[in-house]
Amino acid sequence: MNKPKVHSSTDAPNIQADSYVQPHTLPIHLPTPGSAPSWPFQKIGQWRIDVNEHAERWRQGMKIWRAEHLKRLAYDDAEYRRPELLWSQSNYVHAQMMVEDRYFYDPEKREYTVDKYLDDLEERFGGLDSVLLWYIYPNIGLDDRNQIDLASDLPGGLEGLKQVVKKFQRRGVKVFLPTMPWDNGTRDSGVEDHIEIAKLAAEVGADGINGDTYYSVPKGFREASDATGHPVVLQPETWPIADDAIKWNQQTWGKASTSFIPAASKLKWLESRHLTNVENRWARDRTDDFHYIFFNGHGYNAWENIWGIWNQFTPRAGETLRRIATIFRQFNPLLVSPDWEPYYATFDRGVFASKFPGERRCLWTIVNRNEYAVPGDQIVITHHENASYYDVWNGTQLHPRLEDDHAIISIDMEKRGFGAVLKVDNPEDTHEVLNFLKRMMQISQKPLQAYSNVWNSLPKKLVEIEPTPKLINEPAEMVHIPAGEYDFQVSGVEIEGYLWAGADVQYPWEETPRRFHQKHMEMKAYCIDRFPVTNADFQVFLQAADYHPKDDHNFLLDWVDGKPQAGWENKPVTWVSMEDARAYAQWAGKRLPREWEWQYAAQGNDGRSFPWGNNWDAQAVPAINTSRHHLPLADVDAHPSGASPFGVMDLVGNIWQWTDEHRDEHTRTATLRGGCSYQPQTSHWYFPQAYRLDQHGKYLLMAPCKDRAGLLGFRCVADLK
């Protein structure tokens, strides 16, 4: 029989050009002489073009291009044949994980909770194949610690990190570490990045290196990693990766095609074993992403905690990823087939299929891009005796309609849904398939459309602060702040998050976290420290209270032999965690300020931009330090012209200052005020300054060892009768 005429009338086949910004079509269409399009007006509206009419000629042209292109690249697939790196070809579900995530580390018990983190993901979308441990941005730049320093400052240091890696690996999850080529403004270690990161990965037993902002991780990383005797998989972040770099970059992060026709990935076409983990961290509806990865046999970056902003999968997204990953893990050898055939002919418009052939079985992945269900006939397969067919998406055996030497496959596709068909040539191979079908039948009992796809932001709570004993008069070292009406207006300076619900913090009067905040407030009288707490002040506290934190890594790091350096007594104390500051405040009969209390004391009632007025005054603050290393801080009373209307000093430009803590289910953050004198250069991704009085910084909290910083101190307030 002749194959039935099939239609997929939309755009012509295209190939994802691996562009970081957006996909585009390579101009490779090779019509045969005398051929004509099936639609007379195919230039008017993409929907008029018949994909099936052009797909075979397109594939033939692309095969010619691939052969020539690989020859020009002098392509060598040796890296894809290395046994120790083969796992990269089945790394389908990957996640960038913030180490500050409360599911990963419990600061009260002072222990990593890897199992809690992984169990949650197993339940919600079927778990991970790999994880990228993220401990750098957005906190880096608050002081001069570089990316390696921040790894060493994790709880337990590098030995603790090594144990974390082992815990993930025991659960079958590979571990990536990040590298930041833009980190050239903090402490210079004197060692080149590729050597230092490869050494770190070997020391803690990591499995891969993720190159943040790299279009391709340079070959030096491959050589440095091999030299350690502990080779790792290299994974650049962005597209377009240089084509020749796929020889040593076995994986990539990438962007999905959002066009109605899912684009074919160029990297997959060039090297079918090169796996892309699609990253779309700000997506709320992930259907386009999932259609794209299912069509291409790609993986996904299941990234939910984005710099402390929670973008959780909806129930539908989680269930979709579970089903895709379950199928991909089962049929991985087929998905890396060099004979992958995108745009396999389908019956219906808006339904697209890919064929992944193997020696004795073949898998078709099918996506329905339509906003309506498409039941019935979907694809036609060449049939031979003893062949059996299975709907692996729904976990059932198929009994196709046979016409001559063709099997017509009929399955029902949900709107915006998925389908997967398996052909098995040898009856002896069916036992494994039948066991897998039972699992898929159980998973797929409930249609995807029955799961909610509604996204909601995660609520945050402001941590309560116990009031102090109420004083009749302010102590000599404090300033009286009178009661009065105040318009509190502040915004977060985070680099990412846009105007999302869920970004920045949430005050008790707000229904959701957001970047901009305002409230007309009735302020009660209180008193606030005239100056930040100094090294001398803190030394008195230590001696009187016999205080020493349980987690003492980095505690008073710039002190020598248990006391401030000579001449530093009147400089603000730093390298103190929020817990250390609270302990001091409690001992002194004080507390940390609410953020609006800090701002009111700094701003007064006229809405000024800086404590001294509306224009920046370089004489009112310490000199800006743009070197790669800390310089000694200014004394707290060195810039009297920087005083606020109430006479509060050293509010801006010397050190950041602790105020409030906010928490949600996954993240703890502190709002920092005042900015500091240290400004590492070379990148806009360093912790941004917030000198203006209507700005604050959002600092992610993990544990005192990592939270302490060289430009972060505090001042206290006390309540008045």
State how far the Cα of 93 lies from the Cα of 129, in Å rounded to an integer: 5
In this prediction, residues 581-606 reach a mean pLDDT of: 98
Domain residue spans in the chain? 9-75+338-450, 85-332, 462-719
Pick the CATH number of 85-332 from 2.40.50.140, 3.90.950.10, 3.40.720.10, 3.20.20.80: 3.20.20.80
Give the bridge partners for 513, in sequence order.
none
- pTM beyond 0.95, yes or no: no
Cβ-contact 610, 651 below 8 angstroms = no
CA 71 to chain CA centroid, Å, is: 36
Question: 636-674 burial, b for 16+ CB within 10 Å, e for fewer?
Answer: beebeebbbebebbbbbbbbbbbbbbbbbebbbbbbbbb
510 has pLDDT over 70: yes
In this prediction, residues 407-422 reach a mean pLDDT of: 97
State how far the Cα of 107 lies from the Cα of 101, in Å rounded to an integer: 11
pLDDT tens, position by position, 165-210: 999 999 999 999 999 999 999 999 999 999 999 999 999 999 999 9
**Higher pLDDT among residues 253 and 11, named by residue:** 253
Q: Spell out where 458-545 has E strands.
A: 461-462, 478-481, 484-492, 516-523, 526-529
State how far the Cα of 277 lies from the Cα of 328, in Å rounded to an integer: 13
**Who contacts 205 (Cβ-Cβ below 8 Å, separation ≥6)?**
162, 165, 166, 169, 175, 230
What is the CA angle 668-455-235, rounded to 5? 65
What is the dotted CATH code of the domain comprising 462-719? 3.90.1580.10
State how far the Cα of 707 lies from the Cα of 466, in Å rounded to an integer: 22
pLDDT of residue 30: 28
What are the helix (H) ranges across 233-390?
266-270, 287-296, 315-330, 332-335
What is the CA angle 49-51-52, rounded to 5? 125
Two structure tokens written together for 27? 């101009």
10 has pLDDT over 80: no
617 has pLDDT over 80: yes
pLDDT tens, position by position, 676-692: 999 999 999 999 999 99
Cβ-contact 196, 177 below 8 angstroms = no
Whose CA is closest to 121, among 177, 168, 178, 176? 168
Q: What three-state secondary structure class fits 682?
A: coil
* Greatest distance between any 2 Cα atoms in the chain: 99
> How much is the CA Rg of the chain, to the nearest whole Å?
30
Q: How far is CA 693 from CA 519, 599, 651, 673, in A?
A: 15, 6, 10, 8
**Who contacts 64 (Cβ-Cβ below 8 Å, separation ≥6)?**
none
**Higher pLDDT among residues 7 and 227, named by residue:** 227
State how far the Cα of 487 lies from the Cα of 246, in Å rounded to an integer: 56
Fold exhibited by the domain 9-75+338-450: Immunoglobulin-like (2.60.40)
In this prediction, residues 478-484 reach a mean pLDDT of: 97
Supply the angle between the helices 157-170 and 114-125 in degrees, to the nearest 10. 30
Whose CA is closest to 378, among 341, 339, 418? 418
Mean pLDDT for the chain? 92
State how far the Cα of 261 lies from the Cα of 8, in Å rounded to an integer: 9
pLDDT of residue 25: 34
- State percent of the chain over pLDDT 90: 88
Give the bridge partners for 713, in sequence order.
657
* Helix H or strand E segment including 220: helix 219-227
CA 301 to chain CA centroid, Å, is: 8
In this prediction, residues 356-369 reach a mean pLDDT of: 96
**Who contacts 324 (Cβ-Cβ below 8 Å, separation ≥6)?**
92, 290, 293, 294, 300, 418
Q: What three-state secondary structure class fits 163?
A: helix
pLDDT of residue 257: 85
pLDDT of residue 217: 96
Q: How far is CA 73 from CA 66, 238, 270, in A?
A: 10, 20, 11
Q: What three-state secondary structure class fits 657?
A: strand
State how far the Cα of 331 lies from the Cα of 365, in Å rounded to an integer: 11
7 has pLDDT over 80: no
- Confidence band, pLDDT 50/70/90 cuts, at residue 50: confident
Instruction: Return the residue matching tokens 């815990």.
Output: 167
